[in-house]
Amino acid sequence: MSLSFMDQNQNQPPNQSMSGRRPPELKPATVRKIVIGGVIAVLAIFLGSSSFYTVQEQERAAILTFGKYSGETSAGLHFKWPYPVQQVITVPAELTQRIHIGYRQEGSAAIPVDEEAMMITGDENIVSADAVVQWKISNIHDYLYNISDAEQFLRNAASSSIRAVIGSEKLDYAITDGKTVIQDKVREKLIELQSKYQTGIQIIDIKFQDIEPPSGQVAEAFREVTNAREEKNTKINNAAKYENDRIPKARGEAQALLENAEGQKKSRILNAEGDVAQFNAIFGEYKNNPNVTQSRLILETLEKILPNAKIFITNSNSDTVNYLPLNELMRSSGTGSTTTPPVTTPPVAEAPQGGTAQ
């Protein structure tokens, strides 16, 4: 019987024998283990991906535990409890951001926004003001929970501050010398608003791009006024420069004249004192020897008044008549000759009775 059964199995085709077999059935315990293992793997992947988070360099992360703010972390890789236990919200707290008031920047083009730029000054004139506000997040908790739209709040606060300050100033002052002062006042008001509403926003700076009248004939007229004012200031500065240059020189010249006069005064006083001393000395000698002193003074005076005179001394007691060739002496002195013609003595003539001839 056994042989015949084997022969029957061998005579059957192979496909028929294989198709008749059923796949092995898994036990319920095995199926349960596979399902549990898959669930554990999925949970492990989910927990691993939601437990670690990365904060970029210009960001800070706020950690919410069961929806309540519980702390913050800085840049780097950090661990947290998986959702829904803890949740992380990252904000660009280390990044300096900008908003534009009065225009929008799209690439390299500036598109004006008139409803923000146009405002009224204190003297009821219309002016267009464009500004850039630089800000950053200083307190994450206040930034997330005290305001819903930070950029819109900051835009409204900046526009309100600009209108409040420009509304208290005159147009001429706003478009000329008051730009820096208005800028500082707007910055103080904006900082005060952020502190009042605890927005968690730090105002770094605000700068006006333009404060000018609306375009058209009004702008052209104010531009001419501005140019005239600048020309006036230039001339005033030039005059002040000339004044600062001339006044020190004039003071120096006046001081030099005073010192020169003082020097001449002292010199004349000293000369007068010297003359007095000299006169007193001569007068003392004159009292001792009047004739000698008188003769010396005469000779000194003749030397002063006749420095180039030639003096000839003759003896008047001789019996001859002296002949002086004055014309030849004058010619020789005019030509620079040093030779002096001799004094000729004519022959003695007999004198008439009653005297002697000289």
Alpha-carbon distance 221 to 218, whole Å? Answer: 5
Residues 48 and 25: beta-carbon distance below 8 Å: no
Same-domain check for residues 190 and 204: yes
pLDDT of residue 113: 87
- Residue 268 is assigned to a structural domain of this protein: yes
- Residue 24 is assigned to a structural domain of this protein: no
- Residue 327 is assigned to a structural domain of this protein: no
Same-domain check for residues 111 and 207: yes
- Residue 316 is assigned to a structural domain of this protein: no
* Statement: residue 357 has pLDDT above 60: no
pLDDT of residue 347: 44
Residues 102 and 158: beta-carbon distance below 8 Å: no
pLDDT of residue 278: 86
> How many structural domains comprise the chain?
3
CB atoms within 10 A of CB 161: 24
Same-domain check for residues 188 and 282: no
Same-domain check for residues 191 and 253: no
- Which range of 236-240, 299-303, 314-318 scores highest in mean pLDDT? It is 236-240
- Residue 255 is assigned to a structural domain of this protein: yes
pLDDT of residue 242: 92
Alpha-carbon distance 141 to 71, whole Å? Answer: 9
| Domain stop point among 160, 180, 214 | 214
- Which range of 2-6, 177-181, 187-191, 333-337 scores highest in mean pLDDT? It is 187-191
pLDDT of residue 57: 87
Q: Which of 55-59, 198-202, 285-289 is least confident?
A: 285-289
* Statement: residue 260 has pLDDT above 90: yes
Quick: pLDDT tens for 69-125: 888 888 888 888 777 788 888 899 889 999 999 888 888 888 888 888 888 888 888
pLDDT of residue 163: 92
- Residue 107 is assigned to a structural domain of this protein: yes
Same-domain check for residues 132 and 202: yes
Q: Which of 17-26, 43-52, 67-76, 317-326 is least confident?
A: 17-26
- Residue 350 is assigned to a structural domain of this protein: no
Quick: pLDDT tens for 131-166: 999 999 999 999 999 988 988 999 999 999 999 999
Same-domain check for residues 160 and 113: yes
Better-scored residue on pLDDT, 40 or 162: 162
Same-domain check for residues 104 and 210: yes
Residues 40 and 27: beta-carbon distance below 8 Å: no
pLDDT of residue 114: 84
Percent of the chain with pLDDT over 70: 74
Same-domain check for residues 206 and 223: no
Domain boundaries, position 59: 31-90
CATH of the domain at 118: 3.30.479.30
* Statement: residue 42 has pLDDT above 90: no
Residues 230 and 172: beta-carbon distance below 8 Å: no
pLDDT of residue 124: 83
- Residue 11 is assigned to a structural domain of this protein: no
Query: What DSSP designation does 63 have?
Result: E
Same-domain check for residues 234 and 291: yes
Which residues contact residue 62 at a Cβ distance below 8 angstroms, ignoring those fewer than 6 apart? 69, 71, 72, 88, 89, 90, 91, 140, 141, 144
pLDDT of residue 4: 43
Better-scored residue on pLDDT, 34 or 86: 86
Q: Which of 101-110, 235-244, 305-314, 343-352 is least confident?
A: 343-352
Same-domain check for residues 257 and 188: no
Same-domain check for residues 224 and 285: yes
Same-domain check for residues 128 and 155: yes
* Statement: residue 296 has pLDDT above 50: yes
